[in-house]
Amino acid sequence: IFSFTKSVSEVLCNQYFGLRLQKDTSLLKLFLSILCHSCRMPGSVPANGEATWPKDVGVIALEIYFPSQYVDQAELEQFDGVSAGKYTAGLGQARMGFCSDREDINSLCLTVVQRLMEQNGLSYDQVGRLEVGTETIIDKSKSVKTVVMQLFEESGNTDVEGIDTTNACYGGTAALFNAVNWVESSSWDGRYALVVAGDIAVYATGSARPTGGAGAIAMLIGPNAPLAFDRGLRGTHMQHAYDFYKPDMGSEYPVVDGKLSIKCYLSALDRCYAVYRNKIHAQWQREGVDRRFSLEDFGYMVFHSPYCKLVQKSLARLLLNDFLSHTSPDTETGPFSGLEAFRDVKLEDTYFDRDVEKAFMKASTEMFEQKTKASLLVSSQNGNMYTPSVYGCLASVLAQHAPQDLAGQRIGLFSYGSGFAATLYSLRVSQDATPGSGLDKLCASLFDLKARLDSRRKVSPAVFADNLQLREKTHHLAPYVPQGSVEDLFPGTWYLTRVDEKHRREYARRSLNDSDRPLEAGMVNSTTASEHIPSPVKKMPRIPASTAGPEAVTISNGDH
Alpha helices in 287-400 (DSSP H): 308-325, 354-363, 365-371, 377-382, 389-399
Distance CA 205, CA 96 (A): 15
Torsion of CA 548, 539, 64, 449, to 10 degrees: -130
* Catalytic residue from among 63, 135, 153, 154: 135
CA atoms within 13 A on the CB side of 417: 25
As a dihedral over the C-alpha atoms of residue 107, residue 458, residue 313, residue 391, rounded to 10 degrees, the angle is 30
Sign of the alpha-carbon dihedral angle for 450, 451, 454, 457:
negative
Say which DSSP state 313 is in.
H
Q: How far apart are CA 174 and CA 501, in angstroms?
A: 34
445 annotated binding-site participant? no
- 240 included as an active-site residue: no
pTM of the model: 0.85
pLDDT tens over the chain, length 560 residues: 333 333 444 444 444 444 443 445 444 444 444 444 444 443 334 444 455 779 999 999 999 999 999 999 999 999 999 999 999 999 999 999 999 999 999 999 999 999 999 999 999 999 999 999 999 999 999 999 999 999 999 999 999 999 999 999 999 999 999 999 999 999 999 999 999 999 999 999 999 999 999 999 999 999 999 999 999 999 999 999 999 999 998 999 999 999 999 999 999 999 999 999 999 999 999 999 999 999 999 999 999 999 999 999 999 999 999 999 999 999 999 899 999 999 999 999 999 999 999 999 999 999 999 999 999 999 999 999 999 999 999 999 999 999 999 999 999 999 999 999 999 999 999 999 999 999 999 999 999 999 999 999 999 999 999 999 999 999 999 999 999 999 999 999 999 999 999 999 999 999 988 644 444 433 333 333 344 455 565 433 333 333 333 333 345 544 43
Give the C-alpha separation, 466 to 103, whole Å: 15
> Three-state SS across 468-518?
HHHHHHHCCCCCECCCCCCCCCCCCCEEEEEECCCCCEEEEECCCCCCCCC
Question: β-pairing, 505-509 with 555-556?
Answer: antiparallel
Q: Which region holds residue 217: left if phi is over 0, alpha if psi is between -120 and 50, else beta?
A: beta
Say which DSSP state 153 is in: G
Q: How many CB atoms lie within 10 A of CB 458?
A: 12
The response to whether 309 counts as a known ligand-binding position is yes
Confirm if 195 and 221 have CB atoms less than 8 A apart: yes
Which amino acid is present at 469?
Answer: Q
Catalytic site residue from 99, 169, 272, 443: 169
Eight-state DSSP code of residue 249: T
Residue 458 is assigned to a ligand binding site: no
Does the annotation count 272 as an active-site position?
no
Catalytic site residue from 99, 272, 304, 308: 304
How many residues can be counted in the chain?
560
- Report the alpha-carbon distance of residue 71 to residue 461 in Å, rounded: 6
161 is catalytic: no
